[in-house]
Structure 1
Amino acid sequence: MRIGIPKEVKVREGRVALIPSAASELVRHGHEVFIQSTAGVASGYPDEDYQSAGAQIAPDAAALYGGVQMVLKVKEPVASEYPLLRKDHILFSYLHLAALPKLAQTLKEKGLTAVAFETVEANGKLPLLAPMSYIAGRLSVHIGTTLLHGHAGGRGVMLGGLPSTERGHVVILGAGVAGGNAAAVAAALGAQVTVLAPYREELERMHALGPNVTALPSHARQIHEAVLSADLLIGAVLIPGAKAPKLVTADMVRQMKPGSVIIDISVDQGGCIETIRPTDYDHPTYIEHGVLHFGVTNMPGAVPRTASQALSTVLTPYALRLATEGGLKDPAIAKGINVAGGKFVHPAVAAALSG
């Protein structure tokens, strides 16, 4: 199969779908790999590294898309890329269609097959989403710690505090890969951490992080009470393929402490906090009701080398499976198909877009 890796065009998105060593695996299995010139540079991989791995360099996006059967990229296509997509393409990337109806409709009208990383499922897990959730969870605390600085507009709170001061309070909605990693980093910094999650096994895992972590069931009243005392509120709720449920209302945000910070990792799926809206790394934050909001939709793009290496590791075997004859029937990949034959075929995506 002819497989193309375009250069990402979202704001400050430096990730690349496959690093050179991963591209060489596809070549070794008999596939032709094309990569758009400079696509790997922001991750530290120049064109020469890909050429040494057996990949061919496409001079621009038009040449790349025009000559391949599978488009393997990181983030969902943006408007400038829509005209490059064709009916015979297999698009394999993060898509988040439930929160992007215009993109969803475009893919449907194109008639191509779109397989979303975030809904590929194996043994009840989401293997292609997990490494980026891991990174986003950890980054949410790194970024939140900085945004709490007074000069950044925050409350001027140091999360771990000192023996003579109060600790900063981090409230995390969700205890999956993203929420769990956020909790681990916040706990290690010495913050007072409250994690709210629906399942007992998740609560047990969060409680075990340390004596400064409180794990509570995500009942509406407990969410409300925790949010009002938060210095840093992190949303990390996921329902695969579906829009994130709104667990925090605008009225609750209005009652938060001035200068507190909200980071909603689930903004890709519409966000679990009513006041969140998508932002980018050029303009990452805004203030609403006196609370600093961060809604960047490609958080792991801030660490492109780490993120590209992590994504390549898990993506390579699935790209190989998809590129083989009958690959779309592979059980894990079949669950990842969001659009095919001019229809929304993933149940959660179809339900989210039906209204």
Structure 2
Amino acid sequence: MVIGVPKEIKSEEYRVGLIPDVVAVLVRAGHTVLVQHDAGAGAGMKNAEYEQAGAKIVLTPEEVYGESDLVVKVKEPQKSELELIRENQMLFTFFHFSSDPEMTRALIRKKAVCVAYELVREADTLPILRPMSEIAGILAVQQGMKYLEREYGGKGILLSGVAGVRKGRVAVLGGGTVGFHAAQKAASIGAEVTVLEISQERMRAIQNALPSVETLYSSPQNINSCLKWADVVVGAVLTPGRRTPVLVREEDLDLMEEGSVLVDVSIDEGGVFATSRPTSHRQPIYIHRGIVHYCVPNLPGIVPRTSTLALSYASYPYLMDLAAWGEKAFEKNAGLHSGLALRRGEILNANLQEMFT
């Protein structure tokens, strides 16, 4: 099989779909790997490393898409890439279909075969999404800390506090992988942390692992109560294949103190705050009703080396099956079967069927 790795062109996206180590394994297995020139540069991976692993370096995305049976990416195809995708071509990447209906309809028209990282499921876990969620949770708190600084319009407080001065307070909406790691990071620096969640099982797991973290049922009343005191609120809700529910209305922001920070990790699926809109690493924040909003969809992209390595290792076993078996892999690998969202114009994911049919 010919496997292509284009350079990511989403704004400030520095990750790459494959690392040289995985390329070497694919080449030894008899596959051909095409890597676009400087595709790995943002993650500190040089063209020479890919060549040493056995990849062929090509100059343009047209070559990657034009010659590859399977294209391995990080983020959803951008408009210029959609034009290059061929019928029957397999794409393995994050798609976040629910937040981009235009892209989804274009892929349906193209009759591509789309396998979404975020939909690959093993038992009750999302093994490819998980490491990115861990990183995003940690970074959400780091960014929240940063934008609390007065320079950015924040309150001008330190989450950890100091002797004689109260600690900062963090509310986390959602107790999944992102929420857990956000809570863990915030607690580790000494902040007061509350996680709002609807699953009793998740709340017990958080309390057992993080004894200093408070858990509350995620009701509108409890959310509004937390808004009154929180310095940083992290949106960490995921409903795979569906738009994230809005948990905080625009008028609810009036409950918050001016200079508080909202970090919407869920923005790539629509966002949990009614006032959220996608931002970029170059212009990551805006202020609305006195509240700092940080809504960068590709949050792990700011630590591209760590996140590229984690993503490549997590996707590796699924990629090897796709390369070895082609579309037969969907019958042999349950995780890939769950990740198969679109095939030749047919919508296979139940949640997407509700949205687009």
TM-score, scaled relative to structure 2: 0.97
2:221 alignment partner in structure 1? 221
Task: Give the match for residue 315 of structure 1.
Answer: 315
Asked if 1:353 is matched to 2:356, the reply is yes
- Paired residue for 1:343? 346
Q: Which moved more, 1:246-255 or 1:110-119?
A: 246-255
- Amino acid in the other structure paired with 1:164: G
Aligned to 2:334: 331
Q: Which residue type is aligned with residue 139 of structure 1?
A: L
Aligned-partner residue type, residue 121 of structure 2? E
Partner of 1:80: 80
- Does the 8 Å contact 2:88/2:344 carry over to 1? no
Among all aligned residue pairs of Structure 1 and Structure 2, give the percentage whose two residues are the same amino acid. Answer: 38
SS at match of 2:103: helix
User: Is 1:272 paired with 2:272?
Assistant: yes
Taking the aligned partners of 1:68 and 1:114, their CA distance within structure 2 comes to 14
What residue identity is the alignment partner of 1:97? F
| Cα separation, partners in 2 of 1:92 and 1:153, compared to 1, 3 Å | same
Q: Which residue of the partner structure matches residue 292 of structure 2?
A: 292
Q: How does 1:36-75 map to 2 (within 5 A)?
A: 36-75=36-75
Q: Does 1:123 align with 2:126?
A: no
Q: How far did 1:163 drift? A: 2.6
**Distance in 1 between residues matched to 2:230 and 2:42, nearest whole Å:** 35
Instruction: Measure how far apart 1:103 and its partner are.
Output: 0.3
Which residue in 1 is equivalent to 2:182? 182
How many Å apart are 1:253 and its aligned residue? Answer: 1.6
Superposition misfits of 4+ residues, deviation over 4 angstroms: none
**Contact 1:264 1:273 (C-alpha < 8 Å) held by counterparts:** yes
The answer on whether the counterparts of 1:243 and 1:352 sit within 8 Å (CA) in structure 2 is: no
1:255 deviates by 2.1
Helix, strand or coil at the partner of 1:208? helix
- Alpha-carbon deviation of 1:288? 0.8
**Superposed displacement of residue 2, structure 1:** 0.4
> 1-side partners of 2:96 and 2:127: how far apart?
16
**Displacement of 1:210:** 4.5
Aligned residues: 354
Matched position secondary structure for 2:241: coil
Query: Is 1:229–1:257's contact at 8 Å kept on the other side of the alignment?
Result: yes
What is the rounded CA distance, in whole Å, between the counterparts of 1:10 and 1:31 in structure 2? 27
Given that residues 23 and 50 in structure 2 are in contact (C-alpha distance below 8 angstroms), is that contact kept between their aligned partners in structure 1? yes
Structure 1 counterpart SS, 2:83:
helix
Aligned-pair CA distance for 1:238: 0.6
SS in 1 for 2:185: helix
User: Helix, strand or coil: the match of 1:114?
Assistant: strand
SS in structure 1 at match of 2:193:
strand
Matched residue SS, 2:278: coil
Distance 2:262 2:323 in 1: 40
1:118 aligned counterpart, secondary structure: helix
* TM-score, reference length from structure 1: 0.97
Deviation at 1:323, TM superposition (A): 1.7
Task: Give matches, 1:164-175, under 5 Å.
Answer: 164-175=164-175
Q: Offset of 1:211 from its aligned partner?
A: 5.1
Native 8 Å contact 1:17 1:308 kept in 2? yes
Deviation readout 1:17-55 (Å, 9 max, x if unpaired) = 111001111112111111101001111111100010011
Deviates more, 1:340-349 or 1:144-153: 340-349
Moved more, 343-352 or 242-251: 343-352
Q: Deviations over 1:134-192 (max 9, x none)?
A: 10000000111000011121001110112311211100011111110000000011101
- When the two chains are superposed, the root-mean-square deviation of aligned CA atoms in Å is 1.1
Q: Equivalent residue for 2:140? A: 140
Aligned to 1:34: 34
Distance in 2 of aligned mates of 1:202 and 1:210: 12
Task: Give runs of aligned pairs for residues 13-32 of structure 1, distance below 5 A.
Answer: 13-32=13-32
